[in-house]
Structure 1
Amino acid sequence: MRNWGLLTAPLGIFLCGMTVLYLKMQGAMQKVTTNTLQDPLTYVPYLLVAIFLTIVIQMVVIRRKLDTFILPIILMLVSIGLVEIARLKPALLLRQMQWLCIAMLVMFFVIRLWPKIRRMLNYPYLLGIGCVFLLGLPLLFGTEIGGSKNWLVLGPVSLQPSEFGKIILLFFLASYLSDHRRVLTLPAHKFLFLRLPPLRFIAPLICIWGMAVLMFVVEKDLGSALLFFGMAVLMTYMATGSKSYVFLALGFMGIAAAASYAMFGHVRVRFDIWLDPWADPNGMAYQVVQSLFAIGTGGLWGTGFGFGHPGFIPEVHTDFIFSAIVEEMGLTAGLMLIICYALLFWRGIKGALKLKNTTEALLMAGCGVLILLQMFIIIAGVTKFLPLTGITLPFVSYGGSSMVSSFILLALLLSLTKEQKNV
């Protein structure tokens, strides 16, 4: 009963938030426009579908004796995201709810088909080639949106291949690192204080690092570049325990970043904004400056839901939704969000430590690391801790590709908890 009680809390958050918005809209006697909430009955079918899928998925989780605490945590994040999108961009709420239903349906099938999906781990090089192919599609057929050429436009639908490429990369790293773990931990060459194996064994890792730099320079996608690079470094360290790979990767990235700064104008703009946004507060640094103002205005408890001014931040419903949450709900709400992501990471690492199969252990740990790392990169960007990136806050920001890929990660995390009973 406690598990089902945890599932009702996110529904309560969503319904309460929507009620506040409707009352505020009626109190202000706003006219119905494309930027106001539609009739409540418009959202009911998709809400019922989401509730039905939640019950079905949780029944599968309980029957298969999977981790019953992961789904409620995710639904908490999703409900906050839906309420914020209804607050910031009401016209997009219906589409986000549609994507949520699609994502949950995909999650259900991934859990059911996991015995077949796990066979992909037997083909690391095919996974690597598939990842490169998927990430290379925007270079040939991509459309530039929001300053980054990392989108594929298919009629009315826009997809971000990097959102799905990170999952394939996760499979590749888990498979390759587990297969070559012994060789990677037996150093053959010494360079300064670094101890490294033969070049042919670390060549795939160098290709991944180079691919991350290419995404940064050519596609202008700093967020995905940092995410892919961080995944490769952290998973290599988890597999080998060697600090030499970390230092080598940081040195490689430092040299590439310095060269990119000297050669490409858009790289210099990103770094200059990060170093001193106040040099151009009404121009290129406008988003970052408004984000800092919003977070500062919110303080500890926030201005009150619906009483802030997050609309001053361009594209606040995607990259800067964390700033909007902190402005109206305070630093307390921001910390609670971070704690939810930290709990997912903890469940992933805790489960991975119980697995005897190295490949599956790396995959499970990688799922937890990927969710936490993506959260860290985007929050660090909107708070000026790192250069601003163009990735989403998982399960919270608006975006169909992000929602579907995040629920696939969740399905992998849940499916791997069953393997703990089978070792």
Structure 2
Amino acid sequence: MHTRYRPTLRLTEFNLLLPPALLAIVGMLMIFLVPTGQVAWAWSDIWVSLGFAGAVLGISVTFGIRGFRGDQAILPLTATLAIIGLLMIQRLHPDLTALNAAYSSLAQRQLLFLMLGLAILWLIVMLAGPLGVMNLLKRYKYTWLLISLALQAATFAIGTGPPGSGAKLWIVVGPIQVQPSEIVKITLVIFLAGYLDDKRELLGSSWRIGRVSLPPIPYLIPMGLMWAASLLTLVVLNDLGAALLFFAVFLTMLYLASGKPVYVVVGLVSFGLACFGAWRSFSRVEVRVQNWLNPWQDPFVSGYQPIQSDFAFSSGGIIGTGFAQGNPWYIPAVETDYIFSAIGEELGLLGTLAVLAMFFLLTLRGFTVAMRAQDGFVQLLAAGLTSILAFQTIIIVGGVVRIIPLTGITLPFISYGGSSLVSNFALIGLLLHISSLPRRV
């Protein structure tokens, strides 16, 4: 039964939202004033920031009016990351448009995606309790698995990708372009949370091979399907980023449910062997590995992107060149894969560390929500959703700074991309709802 609360003051959340709201306005003014060296401005220069700041503050107020008692730090952290992304896209917009007219509506589309994401977040928080969403998610867990498989199959059948890449990333329907993997990452976590919660005891028992304890074979089949789905995403769709993200989240949830590191070890070894095979068999993966190890082997073609990224970080140094005063547009795909490099150039090492600190705090809040949940399914769901954000950040940042090969996924809330933004805001909406449920004492 849904508990009705009286209106409550969410002063902590509202106060934490004021700095990102101010950042949005000041940052937008800098975008227009720094290039001209003048102080004249008009209200039309900051309408984008005012709209976004008003939206997040309005959401906080409506949460209080409806008596929502969820976590008060998650929304401010998310809003701060989102406004940093919006400012970077707005700042890159004129320079990218000068290079290619296709970027002429880049900033407007990003704002549209942000507003759509905020609307979905608000709807989830407002309606999840009355509709009993958690029970529905758990009851129909196999439906979510079928949806995941159907979306991946559709991507294989009619998906497209960047010209010449060989990858299948998007499904295009008229003017709408959707990246199914952004939806699949959430639907798979819902299925895994329901399945692993049901089979939690069996995962820690039954038959043995030597010193290794394994659950009954029938219960290994869905886990084997998850492993196969990740490998097929890598081999068939040529989407290394999604495959790595799916499998990392899967292993995390499996370990949390079973408490057995053997599953993680076996999973890592098998996935590592598959990646090695892909490196030796697929030219696209081979090129990414070569660019990771030594981009100077082909500095003007395949290695140009990581080299320019390295130059951007070098130019930024400790404190950066200054917002709107760098040259990050030299990096191909700077608005998506390499937006972290743009932050590093203009805001420096301190700016990148601040961004990573916010991701760390958001991850910490997410796992705190998971630990406080009473229900096993809800615990695993919150942990899985949080793992998505954590691993997605680690994978893309690690690729940009060349700790691992670049995989081509987005930096949550910051990179340009409608599917990613909307799905991540939906994810945050679910986390916020979970944080409002009864807690462990």
Shorter-chain TM-score range:
over 0.9
- After the TM superposition, which of the residue ranges 273-282 and 319-328 deviates more from structure 2? 273-282
Per-residue deviation at 1:250? 1.0
Are residue 239 (structure 1) and residue 248 (structure 2) matched?
A: no
- SS of residue paired to 2:169: strand
1:331 and 1:403 map into 2 onto residues whose CA distance is 25
Deviations 1:327-361 (A, max 9, x none): 11011111111111111111111121122210001
Structure 2: stretches of 5+ with no match in the other structure: 1-10, 95-103
Are residue 41 (structure 1) and residue 50 (structure 2) matched?
A: no
- After the TM superposition, which of the residue ranges 11-20 and 175-184 deviates more from structure 2? 11-20
Deviations 1:60-91 (A, max 9, x none): 43421111111111111111111111111243
Aligned pairs for 1:90-109 within 5 A = 90=94, 91=104, 92-109=106-123
- SS of residue paired to 2:36: helix
1:164 and 1:393 map into 2 onto residues whose CA distance is 16
1:194 and 1:340 map into 2 onto residues whose CA distance is 39
Aligned to 1:269: 287
1:187 and 1:104 map into 2 onto residues whose CA distance is 46
- SS of residue paired to 1:419: coil
Aligned to 1:4: 14
Per-residue deviation at 1:210? 1.5
Summarize the Cα distance change of 1:259–1:392 in structure 2 as closer, same or farther, 3 Å threshold.
same
Q: For the Cα contact (< 8 Å) 1:47–1:97, is it kept in 2?
A: no
Residue identity over aligned pairs, in percent, reads 37
TM-score w.r.t. the length of structure 1 is: 0.92
Aligned to 1:173: 192
Per-residue deviation at 1:145? 2.4
- After the TM superposition, which of the residue ranges 47-56 and 74-83 deviates more from structure 2? 47-56
Summarize the Cα distance change of 1:22–1:48 in structure 2 as closer, same or farther, 3 Å threshold.
closer
Aligned to 1:61: 63
1:93 and 1:39 map into 2 onto residues whose CA distance is 18
- SS of residue paired to 1:268: helix
1:345 and 1:380 map into 2 onto residues whose CA distance is 17
Task: Tell me the amino acid that sits aligned with residue 179 of structure 1.
Answer: D
2:37 and 2:45 map into 1 onto residues whose CA distance is 21
Per-residue deviation at 1:216? 1.4
Per-residue deviation at 1:398? 0.7
- After the TM superposition, which of the residue ranges 313-322 and 278-287 deviates more from structure 2? 278-287
Aligned to 1:31: none
Q: Which among 395, 400, 411 is matched to residue 393 of structure 1?
A: 411
- SS of residue paired to 2:305: helix
Are residue 83 (structure 1) and residue 99 (structure 2) matched?
A: no
Are residue 121 (structure 1) and residue 138 (structure 2) matched?
A: yes
- SS of residue paired to 1:398: coil
Aligned pairs for 1:81-230 within 5 A = 81-90=85-94, 91=104, 92-115=106-129, 116=131, 117-118=133-134, 119-145=136-162, 147=165, 148-190=167-209, 194-230=212-248
Task: Tell me the amino acid that sits aligned with residue 390 of structure 2.
Answer: L
Per-residue deviation at 1:3? 3.0
Are residue 14 (structure 1) and residue 16 (structure 2) matched?
A: no
Structure 1: stretches of 5+ with no match in the other structure: 29-37
- SS of residue paired to 1:145: coil
2:376 and 2:439 map into 1 onto residues whose CA distance is 15
Task: Tell me the amino acid that sits aligned with residue 116 of structure 2.
Answer: I
Per-residue deviation at 1:296? 2.0
Are residue 256 (structure 1) and residue 274 (structure 2) matched?
A: yes
Aligned pairs for 1:269-418 within 5 A = 269-418=287-436
- SS of residue paired to 1:7: helix
Per-residue deviation at 1:53? 3.2
TM-score w.r.t. the length of structure 2 is: 0.89
- After the TM superposition, which of the residue ranges 122-131 and 270-279 deviates more from structure 2? 270-279
1:309 and 1:297 map into 2 onto residues whose CA distance is 9
Per-residue deviation at 1:258? 2.5
Could you say what the CA RMSD is over the residues aligned between the two structures, in angstroms? 2.0
